[in-house]
Structure 1
Amino acid sequence: MTYAYLRQLSDNKNMINQQNNILSFALLKGLNIDKEVIEYSNTNREIEDREDFQKFIHSLDSGDNIITDEIWILSDKVDEIIKIIHCMLSEGINLYISSSQTIIQSNSTIGEIFPLLNSIREKQKIKENKIGRPKGSRSKSKFDSHQKDIIKYLVEGMNVSKISRKLGVSRSSLKDYIISRGIKEMISSSFLEVSPLINDQSMDNKISICPFSDKN
């Protein structure tokens, strides 16, 4: 079955926008939505306390699809998103993110998953900043539009020179951008978190992979 997952949060986009974006994405991908699931909870609740969300995850079967508008609708905490993705992959569930046109499934690469985690980190930093541009904050860069590809290539082991040639940009400018954004450091810290999603999905590890899941 294919589920549209929506979450009503007072401080985020309304559900009509979520519905429209999900429906447009489903139409584009040729997916028929069988059921719409709506969760009502605030961002302060830990995933272990979101009983409705847990029940929904527990009800899914291998081969089921979940479509949501943005990754942070599932959770705005990186560690919780990692748990959720672990659970879905270990159960054979496919996750579709309409805003980024991303599909996460058993054959997904780390390079495809990391930008989603990075987007949550960036969103959290914005929330923590004061209104307006704080002193010393970074400005926009022409490389921002390439960030997803830059991260993907770095995760795949490509060096800066090769990436600059592939993108048709200056090597020195690209290197400065990677350093200023701390991209390599973020990848290094996240690799240990994300790599088990790709490298270890055996049934023997399901308990550790999915700590809040219990279908018994």
Structure 2
Amino acid sequence: MTYAYRRQTPHCSSLVEQQHEIQRFSIENVMAIDKEVIEYSTKNLHLEEREEFETFLRTIGEGHSILVASLSVLSNRADELVKIINCILTHEINLWISHGGLCINKHTKMVEIFSLLNALREEHKNGNKQMGRPKGSKSNSKFDVYHAQIVNLLAEGISVSAISRELEVSRSSLKDYIESRSLKDLAMSMHSYLNEEHGERGLDNIVLICPFEEAYNKKVK
């Protein structure tokens, strides 16, 4: 089983860019992607706050693979990457990094891993020199609890007007929320994956990791 993992946060490249990079790598290396995993957050959450992501890692079977566009997609914090890589090695998972064409698994030399982590640490250190609120960060919104539902409806081609009627909310406010969170990009990326040339796929082939999903599930029960 091969999982293509993408993450949308302020520090990451766009989901579309990540998708193109992953597709390029998978085609060049004749690697079939079985399931798409998309993690979404408006903030660069710490690892302990990303419970769904940790659960996802723990449920991957031995010998399975995760494909990412770059190592920083998993986290841009070196200490967190140490924990993530340790989990990957413990579960004997193959981590493929498209940018650089590297595979991290139990056979990878530690010097290669430390080199990657050191480069990321320096990059993060330079980024921390900026003062003030991180560029691209978003405050919480009343629509956050509907996030998963909004993305799924957009991916199905439902209009913003129809979604606002279903949720019984202001269309203009919902439109502003969708634009500020780039949800159409997220939905479009899911839609293109569902309808790619390899055949029609169902939504079950996509795992959407979102910190607001649990709140939404509680609301609809």
TM-score of Structure 1 vs Structure 2, range by shorter chain: 0.5 to 0.7
Question: Paired residue for 1:28?
Answer: 28
Question: Paired residue for 2:101?
Answer: 101
Question: What is the CA–CA distance in structure 2 between the aligned matches of 1:130 and 1:97, rounded to whole Å?
Answer: 28
RMSD, matched Cα:
1.6
Question: Paired residue for 2:115?
Answer: 115
C-alpha distance 95-112 of structure 1, shift in aligned 2 (>3 A): same
- The aligned runs of 1:14-163 (5 Å cut-off) are 14-42=14-42, 44-130=44-130
C-alpha distance 70-87 of structure 1, shift in aligned 2 (>3 A): same
**Cα-to-partner distance string for 1:81-134 (whole Å, 9 max, x where unaligned):** 011111111111000111121110111001221221022112112212359xxx
TM-score by length of 2: 0.56
- The aligned runs of 1:168-207 (5 Å cut-off) are none
SS of residue matched to 2:56: helix
TM-score by length of 1: 0.57
Question: What is the CA–CA distance in structure 1 between the aligned matches of 2:6 and 2:65, rounded to whole Å?
Answer: 14
Question: What is the CA–CA distance in structure 2 between the aligned matches of 1:80 and 1:42, rounded to whole Å?
Answer: 19
Question: What is the CA–CA distance in structure 2 between the aligned matches of 1:32 and 1:22, rounded to whole Å?
Answer: 11
Runs of 4+ in 1 over 3 A off after TM superposition: none
The one-letter code sitting in structure 1 at the alignment partner of 2:75 is: S
Question: What is the CA–CA distance in structure 1 between the aligned matches of 2:114 and 2:12, rounded to whole Å?
Answer: 23
**Cα-to-partner distance string for 1:126-158 (whole Å, 9 max, x where unaligned):** 212359xxxxxxxxxxxxxxxxxxxxxxxxxxx
The one-letter code sitting in structure 2 at the alignment partner of 1:80 is: E
Question: What is the CA–CA distance in structure 1 between the aligned matches of 2:43 and 2:75, rounded to whole Å?
Answer: 7
**Does the 8 A contact of 2:12 with 2:72 survive in 1?**
no
Question: What is the CA–CA distance in structure 2 between the aligned matches of 1:36 and 1:10, rounded to whole Å?
Answer: 20
Deviation at 1:54, TM superposition (A): 1.4
**Does the 8 A contact of 1:43 with 1:75 survive in 2?**
no
Question: What is the CA–CA distance in structure 2 between the aligned matches of 1:130 and 1:105, rounded to whole Å?
Answer: 34
SS of residue matched to 1:10: coil
SS of residue matched to 1:26: helix
Question: What is the CA–CA distance in structure 2 between the aligned matches of 1:79 and 1:125, rounded to whole Å?
Answer: 12
Question: What is the CA–CA distance in structure 1 between the aligned matches of 2:48 and 2:12, rounded to whole Å?
Answer: 21
C-alpha distance 102-42 of structure 1, shift in aligned 2 (>3 A): farther
Question: What is the CA–CA distance in structure 2 between the aligned matches of 1:25 and 1:105, rounded to whole Å?
Answer: 18
**Does the 8 A contact of 1:9 with 1:43 survive in 2?**
yes
Higher relative contact order (CA 8 A, sep 6+): 2
C-alpha distance 108-44 of structure 1, shift in aligned 2 (>3 A): same
Indicate the percent of aligned positions where both proteins have the same amino acid. Answer: 40
Which sections of structure 2, spanning at least 5 residues, go unmatched?
132-221
Deviation at 1:41, TM superposition (A): 2.2
